[in-house]
Amino acid sequence: MRPTFCKSALILLALIGSAASQATPVRLDNSDWWSQLRTGEWPVGIKSWNRAPATTNFEIDGLFVNTDFSKIQSKYGKATVVQRGDASTYRSQLCYASLSGNVHLIFEVGEIENVAYLFKDGHDWTGSHLCTKSARITNRLLTASGLKLGVSPADVRRILGPPSTVVGDRTFYLFEYRHKTSAKELVALRKSTPDMSDAEVKKFLEFGDVTAYIEARFVHGKLNYLAISRSETY
């Protein structure tokens, strides 16, 4: 199972909670096979790397995984916010598709996690018709580090390094490390925690625990599914 996070993680939710409030949400089932948050589980025995991966791995088409839904919609157009699951598997999703409908870019906010998905083809799911089509969504989309559809497993390893584990045609990366909060991040956190004193903010929020997760799936040796996730708790 994914780790259980303490209540202080709600501080982070205050920063991203507005993501799901930009449109009237639609409540749907758990048929979203592509979601990392659907089961709340990692592969058995997965190894965790105690290092920080490049932040460019978590930026796709100029948007970081924790970008507010309103900013995403300003780039790709209005889309229906879909909500699924509850408690640790709760997730709010914003979906975009290519004009042909075979390439999808989806942003997802969970209890504390932020995930972005880029994949091609795959079977249908409830609510797929709610994905907004955009000419900006193509198989040429890529992360700032160069991850994109169609690359080989060797290309992925060249960018990300040795994987945490490989299961069949699925390659997994898990990073867990401590992160010193930047001055800009502290300012944002200070605004979201008005009841905390400056001393308390420095004591409790100066460092955060980061969990970053990447999954790459391949068909015939070519990447056809990418999930990138990053969350931080205090």
pLDDT in tens, 174-219: 999 987 777 776 777 777 778 877 777 766 677 778 999 999 999 9
Question: Is pLDDT larger for residue 222 or for residue 5?
Answer: 222
Q: How confident is the model at residue 233 (pLDDT cuts 50, 70, 90)?
A: confident
- Secondary structure (DSSP) of 31-92: --TT-TTTT----TT---B-SPPPGGGGEETTEETT--HHHHHHHH----EEEE--GGG-EE
Average pLDDT over residues 92-121: 96
Residue 180 token pair: 């010193």
Average pLDDT over residues 139-145: 97
**Mean pLDDT in residue range 28-49:** 92
* pLDDT value of position 106: 98
Mean pLDDT, the chain, rounded, equals 87
Tell me the per-residue pLDDT of 170-180, one tens digit each, with 9 for 90 and over. Answer: 999 999 998 77
Query: Does the pLDDT value for residue 16 go beyond 70?
Result: no
23 pLDDT tier (thresholds 50, 70, 90): low
DSSP 7: G
What is the domain partition of the chain in residue ranges?
Answer: 7-233
Band the pLDDT of 22: cuts 50, 70, 90. very low
